[in-house]
Amino acid sequence: MPRRHAAITGCLLAITTLTATALPVAARPLTVGVAATKATTTAVVKPPPGMLAALQRDLHLTAEQAQARLLNETRLAPVEAELRAKLGSRFGGSWFTGTVAQTLVVTTTDPADLPQIIAEGAQGEVVTRSLPDLHRALTVTNSSLSNTGGKVRFIDVKNNRIVVLTSDALATEDEIEASGVSGRVVQAVQSDESPRLLGNLVGGDAYYIGTASRCSVGFSVTKGTQNGFVSAGHCGTQGKATSGFNRVPQGVFQGSTFPEGDFSWVAVNNDWTPKPWVGNGAGDVVNVAGSRAAIEGASVCRSGSTTGWHCGTILQLNTSVVYSQGTVSELTRTNVCAEPGDSGGSFISIEQAQGVTSGGSGNCDSGGTTYFQPLGKILTTYGLTLLTTAPPFATGASTCTGYPRTAEGTLTEGNSTYQPRGRHYRSTVAGVHTGCLNSNDSTDFDLYLQKWTRPRWVTVATSESPNPDESITYTGTTGYYRYRVVASSGSGPYSLGYSTP
């Protein structure tokens, strides 16, 4: 790729830590149908409280567009994960594109992979460098450039390169050239971003370090029998005491990493009960169902004690940010706004925890860019377990497509329900009844078709494999029928597609 000078326009303020301190420290469900291919599904997304309104406000979407975006992200995420695994070392990166994330782009270094990518329902592109190649190039770039040689460095998978955002593109290009890093792989881009740090347990709530500093709770965690939460590393050092939003003694930092990373965890006393929630700034909470990492282009929302609840999209993964205290690598870059005091607060994509707020540019009046520390590294480093609830809907691609009638619900282990809507349907002619049940991969839900045979309901067809998905085909006479869905193992949502004679 030829080197060129490019300018990023717009009024970007300095990247700041979102720590409030004087010291530099750290709806109604929308059903969206899609063509029946191997990678598609028909599903209903019920957005977590406050997320739909925030996406409309921050991404300038209608309610229908916001719901369609969440559905598409949920539908295509398993496709991306499967293709990433199949392509292996040839995988070059992926991203969502389109106003409602209607297209998943997956890149490869081998043109022979394109038919497979297309068959899975994604758009394929061929690139020169694989994602592992780009990761190595970013590592070399970070070690070769000085702290003044560009404040933000990230992998630009869309253009298969490394981008260095710098206030002096010419000088940075000279430094890139002098360091021996290939100018075909690394490009300096003019930018005003200049990083400096931002400074019941519920994600987004305030907590205090000493008398001067305030940060935000990330996510509730446990370590064995010890309760606690994760936050940003620049918020406090190991051994520092914390107090809660109400200034009541809360806990102590057990670990803090900065600037090698920007993460920490705080063990709390028995007066504080961890909850698998993130506050949405409107007096409600969003459930935390897991920690599956979102891909580039996915929608993401942030909760913080200063500015509350704001949403945007993931711009780039694996970004290096040069703060005055040092370079923090492997952050995720977003167009979500944040302000001082939001540091450490929760980033969440639908109901999947993503990470904790590190730093950012701008504010929530004019907009900005914010970085978060991905959660996976925090949990692994400190041996923590994320506190979660049952996920709100199936995360795998549904095999139950093309049915004229659908029903959805959520069940806890050992319970059952009847569909449609707790009632039954009438078949006025003899013929074939078909039903297809889809639930989360971690569950075992079973399906039964029953017919009213006076004076009771009689089961006429059964599907009770040890798998999360079940199907029934039954030829019957006229009469009244209903489906019984049973949660034999595990809890979570399900969707039922069925057809009648």
- Residue 489 falls in the annotated catalytic set: no
Q: Across residues 59-63, what is the average pLDDT? A: 93
Rounded CA-CA distance 17/26 in Å is 6
Question: Do 207 and 313 fall into the same domain?
Answer: yes
Whether 29 has a pLDDT exceeding 70, the answer reads no
Q: Which residues contact 299 (CB under 8 A, 6 or more apart)?
A: 55, 59, 69, 70, 73, 101, 311, 312, 313, 349, 350
Question: Do 205 and 327 fall into the same domain?
Answer: yes
Least confident of 213-217, 377-381, 493-497: 493-497
- Evaluate whether 404 touches 499 at the Cβ level (below 8 Å): yes
**Integer CA distances (angstroms), 334 to 13, 56, 65, 124, 342, in order:** 15, 17, 20, 24, 15
- Residue 310 falls in the annotated catalytic set: no
3-state helix, strand, coil in the chain (%, to 5): 15, 45, 40
Confidence class of residue 182 from pLDDT cuts 50, 70 and 90?
A: confident
b/e 327-337 (16+ beta carbons within 10 angstroms → b): bbbbbbbbbbb
Question: Do 312 and 189 fall into the same domain?
Answer: no
- Quote the mean pLDDT of the chain: 84
Q: What is the CA radius of gyration of the chain?
A: 25
Q: Across residues 421-428, what is the average pLDDT? A: 89
**Nearest Cα to 70, choosing from 294, 298, 334, 314?**
298
**68, two tokens:** 């369609």
Q: Which residues contact 71 (CB under 8 A, 6 or more apart)?
A: 30, 32, 43, 44, 45
The string of pLDDT tens digits covering residues 144-168 is 887 777 889 999 999 999 999 998 8
**207, two tokens:** 């907590």
Helix (H) or strand (E) holding 314: strand 308-323
Confidence class of residue 440 from pLDDT cuts 50, 70 and 90?
A: confident
Question: Do 204 and 262 fall into the same domain?
Answer: yes
Rounded CA-CA distance 27/189 in Å is 41
- Look at residue 54 and tell me if it is in a domain: no
Question: Do 221 and 320 fall into the same domain?
Answer: yes
Question: Do 266 and 165 fall into the same domain?
Answer: no
- Look at residue 283 and tell me if it is in a domain: yes
Rounded CA-CA distance 413/429 in Å is 36
| Domain stops at, among 325, 355, 386 | 386
Question: Which DSSP string corresponds to 169-216?
Answer: HHHHHHHHHHHT--TTTEEEEE----EEEE--EEET-EEEETTTEEEE
Question: Do 452 and 311 fall into the same domain?
Answer: no
**293, two tokens:** 């990492």
- Look at residue 1 and tell me if it is in a domain: no
Q: For the chain, how many structural domains are there in total? A: 3
- Look at residue 140 and tell me if it is in a domain: yes
Question: Do 414 and 460 fall into the same domain?
Answer: yes
Domain, as residue range, for 183: 131-194
Tell me what pLDDT residue 39 has.
Answer: 37
| Higher-confidence position of 41 and 121 | 121
The CATH number of the domain holding residue 155 is 3.30.300.50
Tell me what pLDDT residue 196 has.
Answer: 59
The CATH number of the domain holding residue 478 is 2.60.120.380
- Look at residue 78 and tell me if it is in a domain: no
Whether 13 has a pLDDT exceeding 60, the answer reads no
Confidence class of residue 216 from pLDDT cuts 50, 70 and 90?
A: very high
- Catalytic-labelled residue, pool 213, 234, 469, 495: 234
- Look at residue 48 and tell me if it is in a domain: no
Whether 393 has a pLDDT exceeding 60, the answer reads no
**Beta pairing, strands 405-411 & 326-334:** unpaired
| Domain stops at, among 386, 421, 443 | 386
Give me the phi and psi of 277, to 5 degrees please. Answer: -135, 155
Question: Do 162 and 217 fall into the same domain?
Answer: no
Tell me what pLDDT residue 408 has.
Answer: 83
- Catalytic-labelled residue, pool 262, 342, 444, 446: 262
Q: Across residues 79-101, what is the average pLDDT? A: 94
Question: Do 364 and 320 fall into the same domain?
Answer: yes
| Higher-confidence position of 409 and 261 | 261
The CATH number of the domain holding residue 210 is 2.40.10.10
Question: Do 373 and 410 fall into the same domain?
Answer: no
Question: Do 337 and 416 fall into the same domain?
Answer: no
**Nearest Cα to 375, choosing from 204, 205, 261?**
261
- Look at residue 454 and tell me if it is in a domain: yes
Tell me what pLDDT residue 390 has.
Answer: 52
| Higher-confidence position of 149 and 13 | 149
- Catalytic-labelled residue, pool 343, 358, 361, 491: 343
- Look at residue 491 and tell me if it is in a domain: yes
Least confident of 232-236, 327-331, 386-390: 386-390
